Amino acid sequence: MQQGYTGPEVCKITGISYRQLDHWTTTKLIKASVRNIKGSGFHRIYSFNDIVLVKLVNKLRSAGISLQKIRIALKNVNKILGKNSNISDVSIFSDGSSIYVLTDNDQMIDLLKKGQAVFGISLGPVHTETEAEILSLYPDKASAVNR
């Protein structure tokens, strides 16, 4: 049997209340993937990856993201990555209004817009490239580049 953690243990690890965890699990935002049995005398058992998702949801909530947006984002990230991939293999970003995932092939995807790709430009390499182009085309203006 897979190593698992009870609800109270998950709450202690993540810093959320049992009521929050129960709500997120009951509404299927989070699942207890080791054992999700309802009824008295039985406890849900969460995996390590379940706990990572709980922490992710908690961090996104702390950033002001609604549960509705988080639900959509988690559904879309599972579609994009596939069921067998590990959520720990990606980076999740938010600007406060949307949620993005950076995949292992350096593609950034907006999880709230059904997987629409987004792009970013790092200006350090653009600076270096521009500097090199100016130096090769206009060597007499080399001193102006370094200002």
pLDDT tens, residue by residue, 16-43: 999 999 999 999 999 898 887 766 666 8
Q: Quick one: CA dihedral 18, 76, 49, 101, positive or negative? A: negative
Residue 102 tokens, joined: 């950076």
93 close to 65: Cβ distance less than 8 angstroms = no
Residue 43 identity: H
Residues β-bridged to residue 101: 92, 109
Domains and CATH numbers, the chain: 1-62 (1.10.1660.10)
- What was the pLDDT predicted at 103? 73
CB atoms within 10 A of CB 46: 27
Under 8 Å between Cβ of 50 and 57: no
Q: Does 121 score more than 60 pLDDT?
A: no
pTM of the complete model beyond 0.85: no
